[in-house]
Amino acid sequence: MFENHSHNFVYSPVARLLHWLILGLVCAQFIIGWTMPDVHRDTLPTGAIAWHLSVGAAIVAVMVIRIFWRVTHVPEPAKLSPMLTFASRATHLLLYIVLLAVPLTGWANASARGWTVRLLGTLPFPGLAQKGSSLGMELGGVHSVLAWVLFTLIALHIAAALFHRLVLRDSVLQRML
Ligand code: HEM
Ligand code: HEM
């Protein structure tokens, strides 16, 4: 009864662009992350690893813009049952948190290894941890685990979008198209 009324609102073109841009960057980042050579103490940040750092820096930059945009342009909530409203809000909030936590732990790990993270291969980011920092080194393991958490959240999110489109047959998916 609630679901059929969410037909007017569409995310702004900027919000939609940022959403789909992050999808592209994050897909590329998972492919690079899972196919690049294993990182050891004496590994140099070249080849696929250099790509992982560059794409990662772009994700950090786009997420900062995206969060700024989201806070200054609050979307109209979809008209859903209280349970679905709670589930979607919780998943979206978790997606934002993990989308920041994954790049930040990777960045701290890169800094601890003495690697400089650069945006588009040029603009250097400041170090997030001191070279050799044991916390920074441990965050590499946290990064790998959190990447799986992000993967699971994205799978859940895509399943929810399809559920809206195919089962509930409401217009939630259209809000982001
Ligand atoms: C959403 C963004 C990101 C995703 C999905 C992602 C994903 C991954 C994945 C899947 C791995 C391999 C883990 C494994 O072999 O078990 C990895 C490793 C790594 N990533 Fe990322 N990453 C992201 C952002 C970043 C950023 C921004 C940086 C640095 C600026 C970074 C630096 C690293 C480093 C240094 C490793 C090696 C960690 C280690 O083996 O100790 N990542 N990442
Ligand atoms: C095929 C892939 C995807 C589809 C079909 C999709 C669809 C959607 C839709 C329809 C919404 C709006 C939901 C609403 O109005 O309540 C949305 C929002 C959102 N999506 Fe996706 N999405 C996809 C991939 C992704 C990925 C890969 C990420 C993260 C890496 C992501 C993160 C988000 C976030 C954080 C929101 C909340 C937006 C806000 O209100 O601030 N999505 N998505």
Higher pLDDT, 3 or 158: 158
Looking at ligand 1, which atom is closest to the CA of residue 104? Answer: 27
The pLDDT, as a whole number, for residue 7 is 53
Query: Under the phi-then-psi rule, with left for phi > 0, alpha for psi from -120 to 50, and beta for the rest, what region is 47?
Result: left
| Distance (Å, whole) CA 107 – CA 75 | 30
Domain residue limits at 55: 3-176
Average pLDDT over residues 72-92: 96
* Ligand 2 centroid – CA 115 distance (Å): 32
| Distance (Å, whole) CA 142 – CA 10 | 36
In this model, does residue 61 exceed pLDDT 60? yes
Average pLDDT over residues 146-168: 98
Average pLDDT over residues 77-92: 96
Confidence of residue 113 (pLDDT cuts 50, 70, 90): very high
Average pLDDT over residues 147-176: 97
In this model, does residue 155 exceed pLDDT 90? yes
Which residue from 117, 125, 144 has its CB within 8 A of the most atoms of ligand 1, so it is best to mutate? 144
Average pLDDT over residues 123-138: 97
Find the angle CA(20)-CA(22)-CA(24) to the nearest 5 degrees: 70
- CA-wise closest residue to 78 among 143, 145, 149, 174: 174
The pLDDT, as a whole number, for residue 71 is 97
Q: What is the mean pLDDT of the chain?
A: 95
Q: Among residues of the chain, what percentage have pLDDT more than 70?
A: 96
73: domain CATH number is 1.20.950.20
Q: Among residues of the chain, what percentage have pLDDT more than 90?
A: 94
For 5-9, 135-139, 142-146, 168-172, which range has the lowest pLDDT when averaged over its residues?
5-9
Confidence of residue 161 (pLDDT cuts 50, 70, 90): very high
Cβ(101)–Cβ(146) under 8 Å?
yes
Query: Which residue's alpha carbon is at the smallest distance from atom 38 of ligand 1?
Result: 140
Query: Which residue's alpha carbon is at the smallest distance from atom 26 of ligand 2?
Result: 23
Query: How many structural domains comprise the chain?
Result: 1
> Which amino acid, one-letter code, is at 17?
L
- Say which residues have a Cβ less than 8 Å from residue 63's Cβ, sequence separation at least 6: 22, 99, 100, 103
Confidence of residue 8 (pLDDT cuts 50, 70, 90): confident
* Ligand 2 centroid – CA 157 distance (Å): 7
Half-sphere exposure of 21 (CA within 13 A, CB side): 16
Average pLDDT over residues 25-48: 96
